[in-house]
Amino acid sequence: MPPRSHASAFVLAALSGSLLAALSSCSDSSASGADSSGRASAQGATPAAVLVDRAIPSAQRELLSLAFEAASAIPEHPHIKSKLRAQDEVLSTCLELDLPLTTSRWLEQVQGWRRGALHADLAHWLAEHDSSEAALEQIQRARAYEESPIGNPSAQEWRRDRVRAKVGRAYLALGRGADAEPLLTGLADSEQGLVAVARVEKLEEKDFALQLEALDAILGIAGMDAARAALEACATLHARFYADAEKRAALEQRVRANSQKLPFEIRLALLQHLAQNALANADPVRARSLAVELQGLIDGASWLLEDELRLRAELAGLRHRAGDGLLARQDLDALLARYESERERITDIYRSRVLRAIAAAYQMQGDASRSLAIYTRAAEEGFANPNALPRAEDLLATCCAIARSGLEPEPAQLERLRTLRGSLRQPW
């Protein structure tokens, strides 16, 4: 992980202090569930009624089960990091789909610091859904992993910081800024993105100028990780205050001016975020303008084939949503044809990711049957590699993608995914 930048960490802590104070001003009235150290007390267990999954189709639930089975099938030795990362991906999808009960049950199979981080993620979900008592219990569980011995402190510091950042985010969602502050001060720059976004998600308009000043100071001296964190916060503020043309323009200007020093794909992701904000605010004209800007950046750079096809597929989906449906469909059909003709130029472990992006774009364009067919093919392509680890990773990623899409596979497609799951075996 990247080293700490003491200068930028100092600025992040110093300039965010007053904002945290503002966020915590109303938190004392809700602090009865915590002791003097800010930890949740042990008053009662999580009420069973709180953890209720949203009703989803049985096929969607089976896709998630197949994904978690594939992740959990990865052997701990020598692939413990890959296994935990894969389990995390599935459980993050479960929370995205509003399945807290499933998440709470499956995370019991996750080991170490990632289990603590997932407890914190669940706490944040519960806080966002007005279940404060249950959120505090999950925070308490997360902090047990944050404080447990984890080996070489210098080698594992970022993992502790990841848990602390997520616990702090949950506290902020609960309106308990005073509890969050000691956890969020002095974190590694690599964890500041999560923190920066959490701090602005509930920002009041009266605090906008103060927050913008803090972000400008970070952008003036910070390294890459902190700069990325500040710009992600700008993109979040852009969504929150989109209706204010002056604020919107100021935030877009900061993203453009300061993203030049970041890796190219991060620049693209930030612009995509702005375009998604425009679409969410029923502003297709602005979204189309940003899509044109994105296309210019993609056209002007050199890419590996797998990255170019994936990025152009994402752009086609965006352009369709912004109202350029005919051109977007033509572009997408051309991308699929190009994949077919140049497939052998793409290393087998990268093919599934390209196809998932193309499938997602077809779904955005309303072609569910073609989307599902391409998702199924993505799962098949993942099994071109003789090793089971990349097979498992591609299978679970594809199952999660279909589950997130809300598409319902045909019985034959679901049966094929079951067969692929059952075929995961040595060599890993």
What contacts 219, CB < 8 A, 6 or more positions away?
A: 227, 230, 231, 254, 258
Per-range mean pLDDT, top range of 19-23, 117-121, 185-189? 117-121
Q: Kindly report the backbone phi and psi dihedral angles of residue 346, in degrees, each rounded to the nearest multiple of 5, phi listed first.
A: -100, 125
The pLDDT tens digits of the residues spanning 153-168 come to 554 788 899 999 999 9
The pLDDT value given to residue 195: 84
Are the CB atoms for 184 and 168 separated by under 8 Å?
yes
Has residue 274 been placed in a domain?
no
First to last CA, the chain: 26
CA within 13 Å, CB half, 149: 2
Share of the chain above pLDDT 90, in %: 77
- The pLDDT score that the predictor gives to residue 154 is 53
Structure confidence at residue 202 (pLDDT)? 85
Identify the domain containing residue 390 by its residue range.
56-97+303-428
Among 83-87, 359-363, 423-427, the minimum mean pLDDT is found in: 423-427
Instruction: Identify residue 139 by its one-letter amino acid code.
Output: I
Residue 39, domain member (yes or no): no
Query: What is the model's pLDDT at position 11?
Result: 42
Residue 190, SS3 per DSSP: helix
Which of helix, strand or coil describes residue 408? coil
Residue 423 lies in a domain: yes
Amino acid 226: pLDDT: 86
Inform me whether the pLDDT recorded for 32 exceeds 50.
no
> Residue 187's pLDDT band (boundaries 50, 70, 90)?
confident
Asked, for residue 364, whether it belongs to a domain, the answer is: yes
Task: Encode pLDDT of 1-23 as tens digits.
Answer: 444 444 444 344 444 444 444 44
Provide the total of helices (H) and of strands (E) in the chain, helices listed first.
Answer: 20, 0
Asked, for residue 392, whether it belongs to a domain, the answer is yes
pTM, two decimal places? 0.85
Number of compact structural domains in the chain = 1
In a domain, 129, yes or no: no
Choose between 167 and 225: higher pLDDT. 167
In a domain, 322, yes or no: yes
pLDDT for position 153: 53
Mean pLDDT of 77-99: 97
Task: Write down the pLDDT at residue 30.
Answer: 38
pLDDT (tens digit per residue) in 252-292: 999 999 999 899 999 999 999 999 999 999 999 999 999 99
Over residues 325-363, the pLDDT tens digits come to 999 999 999 999 999 999 999 999 999 999 999 999 999
Note whether residue 10 is domain-resident: no
Concatenate the DSSP letters of all residues of 15-49 into one string: HHHHHHHHHTTT-GGGGGGB-TTSPBP--SPPPTT
Averaged pLDDT, 170-180: 95
Calculate the dihedral angle through the C-alpha atoms of 67, 269, 9, 172, rounding to the nearest 10 degrees.
-60
Share in percent of the chain as helix, strand, coil (round to 5): 75, 0, 25
Per-residue model confidence (pLDDT) at position 225? 87
